[in-house]
Structure 1
Amino acid sequence: MPIYYPDILENPPNAWTFTYGDKDVMLYALGIGLGADPMNRDELPFVYERELKVVPTAATVLSSAGVGRAERTPTAAPREGWRQSEINYLMVVHGEQKVELHRPLPDYGTFTAEMRVVGAYDKGPGKGAVIVNETVWTNAKGEKVATLTSSTFARGDGGFGGPSDGAPEPHVVPDRAPDVSVDFTTRPDQALLYRLNGDRNPLHSDPDVAKAAGFERPILHGLCTYGITCRAVLQEITGFDPSVIQSHQVRFSAPVFPGDTITVDLWRDGNVISFEARVKERGVTVIKNGKTVLRA
């Protein structure tokens, strides 16, 4: 099925209730490499239930832990004449991700999430489309906890007649040497561990699937690389205090292979942290236009 515009912007939002606990929080932290040195007292609070801290980017997985599509229900009936859009998921890649925290994430709780399509941009026939989704968490009091914004580049779905302009402009990193750079060496089994957070796409675990997709071996989840860039901000900027991070956003530009060393370059300008990430061994930038906003 094709993309129908503007019907895609009128998709009834999907809502679901989810619960997470300390095991989910610690598994995410382990999945992005925290706790590799059990004597590191700065990292231990992210992987040990005593005085547990939550990595802000864990919001990308906690709302889907144990929740399948069957548990997600539309919040309203579609209007008469509305047409269901469908994209070619075999031609989809994750384009951008942002997490905005309206309050620091607790280490456990039950929340409601509501997801809707907030943008659809047509790059033209043969050039693909960009679909933007927004997911909002609320707590039992109805207060906003987090807003997650993600863009999907649907390579096979251009030419549907939607606007070509209007998508948010990417953050521009400073044109100067980084203020600090830090290396993180991923484990050869990093993707096998990270997938236990919920994303079991075989592209990250099955050599045959990876080969069919054009990769020499399974690739690391983009959201794992995303989490590693947040880890860099925690380590180099905030003194491992997750409560001061208000938002964290990136643009994905190339895949990482488990075992790669990821170098994160960071620039600080007041409460705005700019960053990019690269794999030195292969000379490729894997994250562009990164931006973290710290609480004032």
Structure 2
Amino acid sequence: MADSSRFDFERVLAHKFPEKIYTYTERDVVIYALGVGACGRNPVDTDELKYAYHESGPQFIQVLPTFASLFSLGYVTDGSGVPGLPYDKRLLLHGQQYIEIYKPLPPKASLQNEVTLAGLHDKGKAAILELETKALLYRLSGDYNPLHSDPKMAQVAGFSRPILHGLCTLGFAVRAIIKCICKGDPHIVKNILGRFLLHVYPGETLITEMWLEGLRVLYQTKVKERNRTVLSGYVDLRGLTSSL
């Protein structure tokens, strides 16, 4: 990512990101849902059609909780970067994501977005930058990093071909948990943690295994073709339906 000897740690940790307004519409919500596989196997799936269509109008469409991961896009990949931290924004890889949901997201909103730098960890050849945020289909949700679309850039980063967005893999996993454990109700998701362990190539089959321990769902997602675990974490729930 960058030579750690060139980091100005004090400058990095003192950096204040500007507040931004994040505006999205029902169309953005639908594109995101389709991008993480909603209705992919069955276009009229009763558990998932609500993320793309509602008979009473788009204002009643429900929002997947992982949609919140889009709110901080651009803070470290736009042209301004982070002062004191030289890096190639095209080679950024996502290491971990945590989301806490206080109430269901509306299908259309303008949000005041505040992002703070939570920490910087020197990893030798790379560094881990932690961001704490408040407030070719998946790319349409706003992450246009060429690592996920440009074969030449993927090779520069050490991959044989473009890789899938880590947050897209997280969206697939949490959607599976909502369908299997939450009986299709996204509103009972309280918070989400995902650790990205290995890359995924577009077209590979994702298998999510899950275990329920009280109100916490432990999960891991594997790539079927390589039998490798690519994502693990947990989802905390507000409650469970009586049928579980």
Q: TM-score normalised by the shorter chain: which range applies?
A: 0.7 to 0.9
1:242–1:228 distance in 2 versus 1, CA, 3 Å: same
Whole-angstrom distance in 1 between the partners of 2:190 and 2:52: 21
Superposed displacement of residue 10, structure 1? 1.7
Whichever residue aligns with residue 31 of structure 1, its letter is: G
Whole-angstrom distance in 2 between the partners of 1:20 and 1:84: 29
Q: Secondary structure at the match of 1:218?
A: coil
> Do structure 1's residue 40 and structure 2's residue 45 form an aligned pair?
yes
**Which residue of 2 is the match for residue 276 of structure 1?**
220
Whole-angstrom distance in 1 between the partners of 2:83 and 2:131: 16
Q: Secondary structure at the match of 2:134?
A: strand
- What is the identity percentage for the equivalent residue pairs of Structure 1 and Structure 2? 38
- Gaps of at least 5 residues in structure 2 are 240-244
**Which residue of 1 is the match for residue 62 of structure 2?**
53
Q: Secondary structure at the match of 1:38?
A: coil
Which of 143, 151, 159 matches 1:199?
143
Map residues 54-133 of structure 1 onto 2, 5 A cutoff: 54-62=63-71, 64=73, 69=78, 84-89=83-88, 92-123=92-123, 126-133=124-131
| Deviation sequence 1:134-167 (CA, Å, 0-9, x none) | 1111xxxxxxxxxxxxxxxxxxxxxxxxxxxxxx
List 4+ stretches of structure 1 deviating above 3 A. 62-65
Superposed displacement of residue 208, structure 1? 2.6
Matched-pair contact (CA < 8 Å) for 1:60–1:99: yes
Matched-pair contact (CA < 8 Å) for 1:18–1:64: no
Q: Secondary structure at the match of 2:114?
A: strand
Q: Secondary structure at the match of 2:31?
A: helix
| TM-score of the two chains, using structure 2 as the length reference | 0.85
Q: Secondary structure at the match of 2:144?
A: coil
Matched-pair contact (CA < 8 Å) for 1:3–1:86: yes
Superposed displacement of residue 96, structure 1? 0.4
| TM-score of the two chains, using structure 1 as the length reference | 0.71
Whole-angstrom distance in 1 between the partners of 2:194 and 2:78: 26
Superposed displacement of residue 28, structure 1? 0.2
RMSD over aligned Cα atoms: 2.3
**Which residue of 1 is the match for residue 237 of structure 2?**
294
Matched-pair contact (CA < 8 Å) for 1:16–1:112: yes
Whole-angstrom distance in 2 between the partners of 1:211 and 1:5: 30
1:94–1:64 distance in 2 versus 1, CA, 3 Å: closer
May I ask how many residue pairs the two structures share in their alignment?
Answer: 226
Who wins on radius of gyration, i.e. which is larger? Answer: 1
Whole-angstrom distance in 1 between the partners of 2:148 and 2:139: 8
Whole-angstrom distance in 2 between the partners of 1:69 and 1:28: 21
**Which residue of 1 is the match for residue 20 of structure 2?**
16
Q: Secondary structure at the match of 1:29?
A: helix
Q: Secondary structure at the match of 1:199?
A: coil
Map residues 134-283 of structure 1 onto 2, 5 A cutoff: 134-137=132-135, 192-283=136-227
| Deviation sequence 1:226-258 (CA, Å, 0-9, x none) | 101111111111111111101111110111111
